[in-house]
Amino acid sequence: MLIPLSHPNITDHERKAVLDVLFTPHLSLGGKLVEFEQAVADQVGAGFGIAVNSGTSGLHLAVKAAGFGPGDEVITTPFSFIASANCLLYEGATPRFVDIDAETYNLDLREIPAAIHSRTRGILPVHVFGRPAPMKEILGLARRYQLTVIEDACEAIGATYRGKDVGGFGQTGVFAFYPNKQITTGEGGMIVTDDAKVASLCRSWRNQGRSENGEWLDHERIGYNYRLSELNCALGLAQLARLDEILDRRQTVAETYSALLKDILPDLHLPAPAAAETSISWFVYVVRLPDEFSREDRDMILTELRKKGIGCRNYFSPIHLQPFYRQKFGYKPGMFKVTERVSERTIALPFYTSLTERDINAVCAALADTVASQRKRLWAVAP
């Protein structure tokens, strides 16, 4: 038995959409790009969409459009994929980490005010695992201190906060469409914004600094090759058309996991329910071991689950403890205690749209057996 950690949900609808592009003369910068950008913007309720070749590229351009640079600090989370902090370093700005809430894993609102000072220019919240961050309070702080907000919604397409899709609250929002995401373009991302100037700049930067109406060999500014092909956009359009179906199925998978694990592992920390007036766009299903288990115990459990054919992973490793960040900024263990305590005990279980109830039962049984075995080893060596 092999149950992978993730698996893209591709149907004949998507295959036909991609194949149709190959019968056209346009494989880049064609009609599918425009359609996909408009479709995602409409989904979010934003004025503009700018497709790029990854969520990381999108975050980079969002940071650039915000004008963050050397000497500027931007408040963000150490519990995320590393791109949400690296995108600031690309422009010479500095991530100012604050700790997370132990239940939601999003930024802890109580920690943000103390981190704001004269060099603070923005807030970059991450909707971790598809769970909306508390945008009302974040936007209130941003208005009070005149800060720019960039939403990292790379894991959260379709999640809603107070009736509105996440990604549409800040100056920019960024989505990602890697194969493990809710919908995929293979590789790809999307910036959304209501600011026409920001949209125009991002389109230019993603296309080698060309103007939107200029000649191919005329470049108005330094840019990048962050373009997304017509094939990717066609795949994205087909996937986006199925977004509600996909999210509903992923919700069912998450609910099935929670119901089973609540009974067989009652002291396991399960994902928190969605907050009032929000909906989760389930990206991954991450559980947390009780505090009696160490990181080494967790890693042993991961190893044993993999031996049993269960795809699994720790999610996330703290950004501030990555070697480059420790070397550059002097971060040490203990500086963000909640992030570290959570990170040491997380296990991402197999999670994807087509995961069957039979496979979920197999995963839960394997996890329960492995946790019980590790607990016995702990008792055996206890003084």
- Mean pLDDT for the chain overall: 97
Q: What's residue 379's pLDDT? A: 81
pLDDT at 233: 98
Per-residue pLDDT, 231? 98
- CA gyration radius for the chain? 21
Strand partners, 149: 123
For residue 98, pLDDT beyond 70: yes
pLDDT at 382 (0 to 100): 62
CA distances from 174 to 40, 115, 128, 316, 366 (A): 11, 24, 13, 19, 36
Q: Which residue has the tokens 């997304």?
A: 228
Confidence of residue 383 (pLDDT cuts 50, 70, 90): low
Q: Where in the chain is the domain with CATH 3.40.640.10?
A: 12-241
Query: In this predicted structure, what is the pLDDT of residue 1?
Result: 65
Model pLDDT, residue 276: 95
Percent of the chain with pLDDT over 70: 99
Model pLDDT for residues 37-88, shown as the tens digit of each residue: 999 999 999 999 999 999 999 999 999 999 999 999 999 999 999 999 999 9
Tell me which residue has tokens 């695992």. Answer: 129
Q: In whole angstroms, give the CA distance from residue 180 to residue 16.
A: 21
Q: Which whole number is the average pLDDT over 87-111? A: 98
Distance, in Å, from the CA atom of 168 to the CA atom of 180, rounded to the nearest integer, reads: 23
The single-letter code of the amino acid at 211 is S
Say yes or no to pLDDT of 14 above 70. yes
- CA dist 277 and 36 (Å) reads 28
Give start-end residues of each CATH 3.90.1150.10 domain in the chain.
244-381
Give the active site residue among 64, 136, 181, 308.
181
Beta sheet of 48-52, edge-to-edge order: 48-52, 189-193, 172-176, 148-152, 120-124, 73-76, 94-97
User: Is 181 marked active-site?
Assistant: yes
The answer, yes or no, to whether residue 321 has pLDDT greater than 70, is yes
Q: What is the pLDDT of residues 146-201, one digit of tens each?
A: 999 999 999 999 999 999 999 999 999 999 999 999 999 999 999 999 999 999 99
> pLDDT category, 215, cuts 50, 70, 90?
confident
pLDDT of res. 378: 85
Structure tokens at 212: 């939107």
State the helix-helix crossing angle for 31-44 and 230-241, rounded to 10 degrees: 40
State the average pLDDT over residues 296-316.
97
CB 157 within 8 A of CB 168: no
Fold classified for 244-381: Aspartate Aminotransferase, domain 1 (3.90.1150)
Q: Which fold has domain 12-241?
A: Aspartate Aminotransferase; domain 2 (3.40.640)
pLDDT value for 212: 83
Q: What is the pLDDT of residue 196?
A: 98
Closest CA to 194 of 65, 67, 59, 73: 65
pLDDT at 53: 98
Q: Is the pTM of this model over 0.75?
A: yes
Report CA-CA distances (Å) from 108 to 57, 75, 135, 161, 195.
Answer: 26, 11, 12, 17, 28
- Which helix (H) or strand (E) segment holds residue 300: the answer is helix 295-307
